[in-house]
A = this chain, B = another copy of it.
Amino acid sequence: MNQQPTQMEKIIIVDWGTTSLRATLADTSGRIIAEIENGKGIQFIKDNVFEPELVAAIDPWLEEHGTLSVVALGMITSKNGWVEVPYVACPATPKDLAKGVIHRKLSNGSNLYFLSGITDKTRAPFPDVMRGEETQILGFGLANASTVVLPGTHSKWSTVSAGHIQGFQTFVTGEIFALMSQHSFIAKAAGVDTPAKNFDTFERGAKVARDCEGTDTSFLTQLFSVRTGMLAGQLAAGDMISYLSGLLIGSEFRQAKDGGLFKSGDTIGIVGNDGLNARYHRVADIFDLTVRNGGEQAAVVGAIEIYKELVANVA
C-alpha cells in the first residue's frame, strides 16, 4: 500500500459466491490476463479454511508475479463467508464503497481487500441488500441515469445516476423458477430435467405476463396457467418449463414496470454472466426496451475502480 497503482500493476479479483469461485488476473487498466473458475463455492468450504482454497486457486499467479493485491467480493464477505463486511448504504459512490473495504493479509504477504455489499434502507418492510452485484453495477458505469438489471437467482434492479448507485430492488425470480421447475406440480407433469429451450414458448409466457389485465394480473393466479395450459391442450408437457421461464421473467419486468422502474421506450442496462442475459434481452424486447449490455467483465472493471480509490486514499 505504499505505491500508486500504475497502468501495469497486476491484481487478482476473486468473485467468490455460494456455489463457485471465479478468479481473474488483470492489470489495473482493465486488461484480463488470465481466469480460473471452480466449484469451490463458500457453501462447500468446511471449517472456514478459506485461505488454503484461495491460495490453491491463485498460486500459479503468485508464483509467477510474487505478492499481488487480491480483491475479494461476493458472498465470501457475508456472515457465512471469510470476513463479514458491513453493508454500505445507498446512495453510494465508488469512494463510499472503497471506505467500506476491510483489509487483511495473506500469509505470503499479499494484501487482501474484502469489498462491502450495499443496502437500500428506503425499501419496505426491511432494507434490501446485495453483495457482489454492486461491483458489477460500478463496472457498468454510473455516469448516465439508467436502470440496470442483474439477472440471477435473486435478480437485482438498480437505478444509477450522477456517479451514484441510487437504490435497488431484489426479485426472487430465479429462485421461484428453480422451485417450480424442480419440485412443484409442474415438475411432475413436465419431467424435472426438461430444459427451457423452446424460445417461442418462452416468449409466449413472457407476453402472457405483459398483456394480462384485471383479475388475471394476479401473479399467484398466473402461475397456475402453466397447468391450465397443459390441461387445455394448449401447452405441451415438454414446453411447460420454457413457458414458466418466460412467464416468470415477464412477471419480473411487469412488476418492475408497475413499480415505476421503467416505461416503454426506455434504455436499460443488463449486466451479468449467469447465462440468463439472453433471456432477459428477449423479454426486454417484448417490453419495448433498448438494452445496453454491461459485458461479461463488469465485476472486474468495478473491482479495479474500487481498488484504485482504495490505493489513492491511502497513498
A interface residues with partner B (beta carbon < 8 Å): 123-129, 154, 169-173, 175-176, 179-180, 182-185, 208, 212-221, 223-225, 228-229, 231-232, 234-235, 251-252, 255-256, 258-261
Known: A169-B215, A220-B219. A232 touches B175 (CB 8 A): no
Q: Are A255 and B220 in contact (CB under 8 A)?
A: yes
Q: Which of A124, A180, A208, A216 has the most CB of B within 10 A?
A: A124
Task: Establish whether residues B175 and A128, one from each chain, have CB atoms under 8 Å apart when the complex forms.
Answer: no
Which chain B residues border A173 with CB–CB below 8 Å?
220
Contacts of A128 in B (CB 8 A): 224, 228
* Residue among A125, A128, A232, A258 with the highest chain B CB neighbour number at 10 A: A125
Task: Point out the residues of chain B lying under 8 angstroms from A208, CB to CB.
Answer: 124-125
Q: A127-B228, A154-B224 are in contact. Are A256 and B218 (CB under 8 A)?
A: yes
Q: Judge whether B260 and A170 touch: CB under 8 Å.
A: no
Please name all residues of chain B whose beta carbon is closer than 8 Å to the beta carbon of A218 when the two chains form the complex.
169, 171, 255-256, 258-259
Give the chain B neighbours of A129 by CB distance below 8 A. Answer: 228, 231
A260 touching B219, Cβ below 8 Å: no
In the assembled complex, the CB of A210 is this many whole angstroms from the nearest CB of chain B, namely: 11
List the number of copies, as a whole number. Answer: 2
For residue A220, which residues in chain B have a CB less than 8 angstroms away from its CB?
Answer: 171-173, 176, 219, 251-252, 255
Contacts of A223 in B (CB 8 A): 172, 175-176
Interface pair B185/A259, CB less than 8 Å apart: no
For A213, what are the chain B residues with a Cβ–Cβ distance below 8 Å?
124
24 contacts between A and B (CB under 8 A): A123-B216, A123-B228, A125-B208, A125-B216, A126-B229, A126-B232, A127-B228, A128-B228, A169-B215, A172-B223, A176-B220, A176-B223, A179-B183, A183-B183, A214-B259, A214-B260, A215-B260, A215-B261, A216-B259, A218-B256, A219-B220, A219-B255, A220-B251, A220-B252
Known contacts A219-B255, A259-B218; A125 and B171 CB within 8 A of each other = no
Which of A172, A212, A216 has the most chain B CB atoms closer than 10 A to its own CB?
Answer: A172
State whether A234 and B124 are in contact (beta carbons under 8 Å apart), knowing that A175-B184, A184-B179 are contacts in the complex.
no
